[in-house]
C-alpha cells in the first residue's frame, strides 16, 4: 500500500485487489444533474480541485476515499503534474431514515487538492494548517488504487 497513505486511513486498511468484484465500486463521473450508484464529481477551484466520490452502502466505506484519490491523481497527471497535494479530506456515511429507522445508504469522500511537481507536503500548502497537507505521487496512487476500482466501459 502507499507508504504515504496517512490521509484516508480506511484506504490503507483495504489492500488493492483484495476486494471481490462485487465489492469494487464502479469508477465513473456523474453528470451535471448527479447520478445514482457509485461515482464521482469534480469541480475546479481557484487554487486546485475538489473531488467528491460516492459509493453505495454495499461497498466498503474505504472505496469512496480510494475513488476520490484516484480521480485526484488522474487530474494531476492530465495537467502534467507529478503529485497530488491534499489540502483537506472529509469522509462520512450517508444516513437516511425510513419507517422510523436509520440506515446507511452509502459513503462519501471529499478531497480538495492542488496538483504540483513539488513533493514537499508543506511547500505552497493552501490549507489553514500546513501540517494537514499530504502529498502523494500521482502515478503511484493510480497504480495502487486502480485495482480496487471497476472501470465503467464509458470512461
Domain assignment present for residue 2? The answer is no
Predicted confidence band at 7 (pLDDT cuts at 50, 70, 90)?
very low
The one-character DSSP state at 67 is: H
Query: What are the counts of helices (DSSP H) followed by strands (DSSP E) for the chain?
Result: 3, 7
The answer to whether the pTM exceeds 0.75 is yes
Q: Higher-confidence residue: 103 or 9? A: 103
- Which residues, other chains included, contact 37 with Cβ-Cβ below 8 Å and sequence gap of 6+? 26, 56
Range of the domain at 91: 23-145
Residue found by looking up cell 497513505 in the block:
5
C-alpha cell at 155: 470512461
Cβ partners under 8 Å of residue 16, min gap 6: 1, 144, 145, 146, 147, 148
User: What average pLDDT score do residues 94-103 get?
Assistant: 83
15 domain-assigned: no
Instruction: Select from 151, 128, 153, 154 the least CA-distant residue to 71.
Output: 151
**99 compared with 69, residue with greater pLDDT:** 69
Supply 95's cell numbers: 444516513
Q: Mapping DSSP to helix (H, G, I), strand (E, B) and coil, where does residue 149 land?
A: coil
Q: Which residues pair with 86 in a beta bridge?
A: 113, 134
Collect all residues with Cβ–Cβ distance below 8 Å to 141 and sequence separation of at least 6.
2, 69, 70, 72, 73, 84
Give the count of domains, the chain.
1
Instruction: Please indicate, yes or no, if residue 17 is contained in any of the structural domains.
Output: no
Is 10 among the domain residues? no
CA 8 to CA 18: how far, in whole Å?
17
Strands 26-27 and 150-151: parallel
Q: pLDDT tens across 48-93, in order?
A: 999 999 898 888 888 999 999 999 999 999 999 999 989 888 888 8
Amino acid at each position: 500500500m502507499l507508504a504515504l497513505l496517512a490521509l484516508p486511513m480506511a484506504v490503507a486498511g483495504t489492500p488493492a485487489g483484495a476486494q471481490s468484484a462485487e465489492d469494487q465500486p464502479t469508477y465513473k463521473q456523474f453528470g451535471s444533474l448527479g447520478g445514482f450508484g457509485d461515482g464521482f464529481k469534480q469541480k475546479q477551484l481557484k487554487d486546485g480541485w475538489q473531488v467528491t466520490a460516492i459509493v453505495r452502502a454495499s461497498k466498503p466505506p474505504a472505496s469512496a476515499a480510494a475513488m476520490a484519490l484516484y480521480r485526484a491523481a488522474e487530474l494531476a497527471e492530465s495537467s502534467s503534474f507529478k503529485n497530488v497535494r491534499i489540502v483537506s479530506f472529509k469522509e462520512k456515511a450517508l444516513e437516511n431514515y425510513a419507517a422510523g429507522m436509520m440506515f446507511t445508504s452509502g459513503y462519501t469522500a471529499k478531497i480538495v487538492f492542488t496538483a504540483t511537481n513539488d513533493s514537499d507536503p508543506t511547500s505552497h500548502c493552501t490549507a489553514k494548517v500546513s501540517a494537514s497537507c499530504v502529498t502523494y505521487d500521482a502515478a503511484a496512487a493510480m497504480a495502487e488504487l486502480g485495482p480496487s476500482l471497476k472501470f465503467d466501459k464509458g470512461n
